[in-house]
Chain A
Amino acid sequence: MSDVAERVKKIVVEHLGVDADKVVESANFIDDLGADSLDTVELVMAFEEEFGVEIPDDQAETIVTVGDAVKFLEKASADK
């Protein structure tokens, strides 16, 4: 697992209070991890802080699974 994926996983576990083994790439924040829509906004804020990037609203809407977040943040970190 990449460094980005590890950091994403840690944030998701902390914020949603879910078991780490449930935080897999295909896990949907809302359907699989029990997040509500406000939780997803908070996750995006936490990702922004952790990775020092800005995630515009239209991009944030496309991040619905753990894998989406990892992919976006790997790219954003590489572009920095």
Chain B
Amino acid sequence: MFDLTGRSALVTGASGGLGGAIARALHAQGAVVALSGTRREALEALAAELGDRVHVTPCDLSDPAAVERLVPAAEAALGALDVLVNNAGVTRDNLFMRMKDAEWDTVLAINLTAAFRLSRAALKGMMKRRFGRIINITSIVGVTGNPGQGNYAAAKAGMIGMSKALAAEVASRGITVNCIAPGFIASPMTDALSDKQREQILASVPMGRLGSGADIGAAAAWLASPEAAYVTGQTLHVNGGMAMI
């Protein structure tokens, strides 16, 4: 089950904790992976850890020209692109009334517009081969909202709507488009929380623990697999029961 042997995948934001975990999960199931991100050293380190079946394709998603080059570069490295994971994201939190245009624009550009451009570029090959998996990493915040994250919530909710529209367009070509919406996932950011803050967060999670990157990676591996062929336009919430939607 969930065998990805012979499949190739591009994961954006692979220099971060979540993207790295997703790349590891796809690789463990047999896929060839291209790791994209802004920090080349982190990508090289992950590539060294994974060993074979791995390529490094750095990209700054805030640069539209670089975004346009990423899919062709990945296709050149991988031979073809079967699975695109739009995972890269940034936050620029601020109270709505204080939010700067630049904070809004940056978050929309990297979290939503880059995912649009990369998906558009990847579709050509997927249409021809009658197979594709686009997996967009959204957030629980895109569904529930969160104070201080008007920009981030808008981008993540936008991703869900975009995925549904695209899923309807390309389903007949064997291409599925789905979202994964993580809840609270352990990361350097959550490590920095005080015990009290951590307690408060965990009180809202029925499972009583933070999620791990591996929890998200497993969801991505399933969505990428042949077994998930009939699942499209969906948002899979992986949040320990924090929100049941």
- What is A's interface to B at a CB cutoff of 8 Å? 38, 41-42, 45
Residue ranges of B at the interface with A (Cβ–Cβ < 8 Å):
124, 127-128, 169-170, 172-173
Inter-subunit contact B172/A45 (CB<8 Å): no
Measured between beta carbons, the chain A residues less than 8 angstroms from B128 are: 42, 45
C-alpha gap A38/B174 in the complex (Å): 13
A38 x B169 contact (CB < 8 A): yes
Q: Which residues from A are CB-within-8-Å of B169?
A: 38
Whether the pair A38, B172 counts as a contact (CB closer than 8 A) is: yes
Across the interface, which residues of B come within 8 angstroms of A38, CB to CB? 127, 169-170, 172-173
Query: Closest residue of chain A to B128, judged by CB?
Result: A45
Main SS at interface, chain A = helix
A1–B170 Cα gap in the complex (Å)? 35
**Docked pose: A42 CA to B130 CA in angstroms:** 11
For B127, what are the chain A residues with a Cβ–Cβ distance below 8 Å?
38, 41-42, 45
Q: Which single residue of chain A is at the shortest CB-CB distance from B172?
A: A38
Give A38's nearest chain B residue, CB to CB. Answer: B169
How far in angstroms is the closest Cβ of chain B from A17?
13
Closest B residue, CB atoms, query A41: B127
Bound CA span A38–B127, Å: 10
Q: Which A residues lie within 8 Å of B170 (CB)?
A: 38
A23→B216 CA distance, assembly (Å): 49
Q: Which B residues are in CB contact (< 8 Å) with A41?
A: 127
- B219 CB to closest chain A CB, in angstroms? 28
Q: Which residue of A has the minimal Cβ distance to B169?
A: A38
